[in-house]
Amino acid sequence: MEKFLKFCMITTFYPPYNFGGDGIYVYRLSNELARRGHRVDVIHCEDAYALLQSNGVGSDYPNHENVKVHKLKSRASVMSPLLTQQTGIPFFKGKKIKKLLDENQYDVIHFHNMSLIGITALRYVRDAVRLYTTHEHWLVCPMHVLWKFNREVCTKKSCTLCMLAARRPPQLWRHTGLMEKTLRHVDCFIAPSRFTLAKHLETHPDISITHIPHFLPKPEEANEISVPTPPPAEGRLYFLYVGRLEKIKGVQNLIPVFQNRPDYDLLVAGDGEYRQELVELAGNARNVKFLGKLNYEKLKELYRGAVAVVVPSICYETFGMIIIEAFSMKTPVIVNNLGALPEVVEDSGGGFIYNDLDDLALAMDKLTKETGLRSQLGMKGYEAYLKYWTEDVHILQYMNLIHETQEKHLNKSNSVVGEYI
């Protein structure tokens, strides 16, 4: 009989106090574990969300009854995450974190985005299995994304100058050895891609780290879709972009391609600070359409009808969740040859990898002109999704890691006891 465990997820952001994929992953993982009978506590920082978002919270995210959420909110308000950013210490929230960890006998403590929680919170845990998922590159880059001077991927570190250029105060604590000393308290780090695993070992060669990809829960209708849905016979063919509108996401590089391909539409689903510049760049191009932020039900319709989903990121992504979403709808992808994106396509055979915009245009033309190619690649992507990236596959790998770590703890304890017998 399986033993049900007690988990604690510690993260800066958790829905609806959330911006990106890290919080969504923690939400999905917490509720999937809860659905399987485990108990999960989530600790997240409401002050950090308030620092970065003044318009309140977004959509509601209901939790399973086995999930209990603890918000970190202090009298100091946004001063708490600001001081944490500068020191690495959980200012005005450390006492509550310690209290929760002391009062609850957690079997597993899983750290996620710790940027505004404070890296030294990793020291608070002793007896539980201690995991840390590298959702971003924050452990190796104070800017999180290895994007240097807001113009190029980082291949040689200039962290202080880069932060000053981005108008952020330098994190001087990173030069004290605090990071290395604190990371020793983690049993194992989890990287969602082989690329991200290698990037972390470049900077922290002594850590224990393993590769477990993120997951996307299987849609309810998954078993009902036997063949890919073809693009509509009537109407215009379209390619789809889904994600935040920021410079590092590379949408600006797609617009000239579609201006030269007036027979195809580019549908852009998402919003962000870079939207207005993209609209201006598109100018009068009627085949470039900005749809804004859409709910997932609408996105699924768009995925199914697209010739392909294009992922043009010009930064080092840690995973390719949009790729997996496309595969779950049996739609192929075209991705930039950078970061973790190509390995997801290589593992699946579900699309094209491009090195330049000519490659991108060629892939688009092939998908629209070669009969059956879209369906063939879409099926490969879907089969790989079922094999590598569903909740069942992910939880199996995750629980195996936990059991292996528990066994190591037990062997270590027995070894220490043996020394005194």
Can you give the residue ranges of every domain in the chain? Answer: 6-215+390-419, 222-388
What value, to the nearest 5°, has the Cα angle with vertex 242 and ends 237 and 247? Answer: 115
Residue among 149, 327, 355 at smallest CA distance from 253: 355
DSSP 8-state assignment for residue 180: H
Whole-number Å distance between alpha carbons of 284 and 263? 15
Classify residue 225 by burial, with Cβ atoms within 10 Å: 0-12, 13-18, 19+.
Answer: middle
337 token code pair: 């040859």
Tell me what pLDDT residue 418 has.
Answer: 45
> Burial letters for 150-172: b for 16+ Cβ neighbours within 10 Å, e otherwise?
eeeebeeeebeebbeeeeeeebe
Contact predicate 255/288, CB 8 Å: yes
Whole-number Å distance between alpha carbons of 106 and 128? 6
Look up the CATH superfamily of 222-388: Glycogen Phosphorylase B; (3.40.50.2000)
Q: Cα 156 to the chain's mean position, in Å?
A: 24
Residue among 308, 190, 309, 166 at smallest CA distance from 248: 166
Query: One digit per residue, pLDDT tens: the chain, 421 residues?
Result: 468 999 999 999 999 999 888 999 999 999 999 999 999 999 999 999 999 886 777 778 999 999 999 999 999 999 999 999 999 999 999 999 999 999 999 999 999 999 999 999 999 987 899 999 999 999 999 999 999 998 999 999 899 899 998 888 889 899 999 999 999 999 999 999 999 999 999 999 999 999 999 999 997 765 545 556 666 555 799 999 999 999 999 999 999 999 999 999 999 999 999 999 999 999 999 999 999 999 989 999 999 999 999 999 999 999 999 999 999 999 999 999 999 999 999 999 999 999 999 999 999 999 999 999 999 999 999 999 999 999 999 999 999 999 999 999 988 766 654 444 4
Contact predicate 47/59, CB 8 Å: no
Residues with Cβ < 8 Å from 297, sequence gap 6 or more? none
Residue type, position 108, single letter: V
Q: Could you give the 3-state DSSP secondary structure of residue 346?
A: helix
Residue type, position 58, single letter: G
DSSP per-residue letters across 69-123: EEEE--TTTTHHHHHHHHHSS-TTTHHHHHHHHHHS--SEEEE---TTT-GGGGG
Q: What is the number of alpha carbons within 13 Å of residue 385 lying toward its C-beta?
A: 27
Tell me what pLDDT residue 420 has.
Answer: 43
Whole-number Å distance between alpha carbons of 13 and 116? 9
Tell me what pLDDT residue 67 has.
Answer: 98
**For helices 373-388 and 341-348, what crossing angle results, to 10°?**
100
Contact predicate 34/62, CB 8 Å: no
CA distances for 293 relative to 242, 265, 346, 374, angstroms = 9, 18, 29, 26
Contact predicate 145/317, CB 8 Å: no
Whole-number Å distance between alpha carbons of 31 and 9? 11
Q: Residue 10: beta bridge partners?
A: 43, 111
Residue 235 region, left (φ>0) first, then alpha (ψ -120 to 50), else beta?
left
Whole-number Å distance between alpha carbons of 145 and 318? 9
Q: Residue 101: beta bridge partners?
A: none
Q: Cα 214 to the chain's mean position, in Å?
A: 8
Could you name the CATH architecture of 6-215+390-419?
3-Layer(aba) Sandwich (3.40)
Tell me what pLDDT residue 235 has.
Answer: 72
Asked if the domains at 6-215+390-419 and 222-388 fall in one CATH topology, the answer is yes
